[in-house]
Amino acid sequence: MKKCRFCDSSAIVRLPYANLSLCGEHFKGYYIGRIRRVLDKHKIHGEVLVATSGGKDSMALLHALSEISKVDDRANFTAFHINLGIFDYSRKSEEIVREFSKKLGVVLIVYDLKKEIGYTIPELIRVSKRPPCAVCGIVKRWVLNKVAYECGFDYLATGHNIDDISTILLKALLSQDMYTILRMQSEFSPPRNDIKLVGKIRPQFYLSEMENRLYAELNKIPVIGEDCPLSKGATLHKYRSLWDHILKTNPVSQINFIRSILKLREQMAAFKQPTHLCKKCEFPTESETELCAFCRLIDSAGKRNTETLGLVS
């Protein structure tokens, strides 16, 4: 292995897209620097809610943000975890997030889906008969925005990686799924108080799964090792391996692919942001119908009692 670009130690990682070889210590610094640059670029300040699932991406993000806040007090970070009620997987995830937040000294808010809305994710999947990851996505988006908005947070930070984002887009392009391409969130979206939409920041938008995993390993961050049991067999996993071949030919192809789509989208007249509020929950929706995707999901589950949604105080 080559030497680290910045010191005499042997490199433990090579980042082909940046033509950079780094030792463990310099990789940690590089990783935190990448996250900090995203916060700087979008002038993130104030109260930030960090969605923390217990997976490597969001746990690495929480750790890096906590490191940044030690030397820089422009923003205050609070961890947020949704217990989705996915059997043992959710129980273990909550436990890991609780222990790690405590260790970091970060305040944690836990939202128990069953208690708050009356359903777990497996129950919603069963009654709505929709694909597991679609149901989970609708619920998480709605809960994260609602809690961040109602608790007065300025921004919501979520953990992503470029492999997931580029694979979702690749699959969407190869299946003429324009909705996913139009709706895909980029690195930053500003708050829209008029429609109760909090600002969103995705500091790992251009970081890879390997980089998030390595950062977690080097810092001995506990993560839920297994994939969600409901996502098994998702076709997305098959598309993902396509990138291995493409990246060997062109290490910056993934970054360029996402940037190309974002540029294309900017120029599409049809690009729509959510513009109005759902008639039922009064949170933003881009849907043409009067109800947002979350409320339609809950309605399809048969319970129309708004009290179970915690909407009546």
Q: Under the rule (CB under 5 A), what is the footprint of Zn ion?
A: 4, 6-7, 9, 23, 26, 278, 280-281, 292, 295
Q: Which helix (H) or strand (E) holds 255?
A: helix 253-266
The C-alpha atoms of residue 178 and residue 182 are separated, in whole angstroms, by 6
Closest approach of Zn ion to the CB of residue 110, in Å: 23
Of residues 209 and 282, the one with the C-beta less far from Zn ion: 282
Under 8 Å between Cβ of 285 and 197: no
Of residues 197 and 295, the one with the C-beta less far from Zn ion: 295
Place of tokens 């309605």: 299
Closest approach of Zn ion to the CB of residue 27, in Å: 8
DSSP-derived 3-state class of residue 34? helix
Closest approach of Zn ion to the CB of residue 298, in Å: 8
Distances (CA, A) of 12 to 4, 31, 113, 194, 197: 8, 14, 41, 48, 41
Token readout for 187 is: 């690195």
Of residues 63 and 280, the one with the C-beta less far from Zn ion: 280
Of residues 74 and 279, the one with the C-beta less far from Zn ion: 279
Closest approach of Zn ion to the CB of residue 8, in Å: 8
The edge-to-edge listing of strands for the beta sheet with 108-112 is: 108-112, 75-83, 46-51, 155-157, 199-201, 188-189
Of residues 133 and 277, the one with the C-beta less far from Zn ion: 277
Under 8 Å between Cβ of 104 and 62: yes
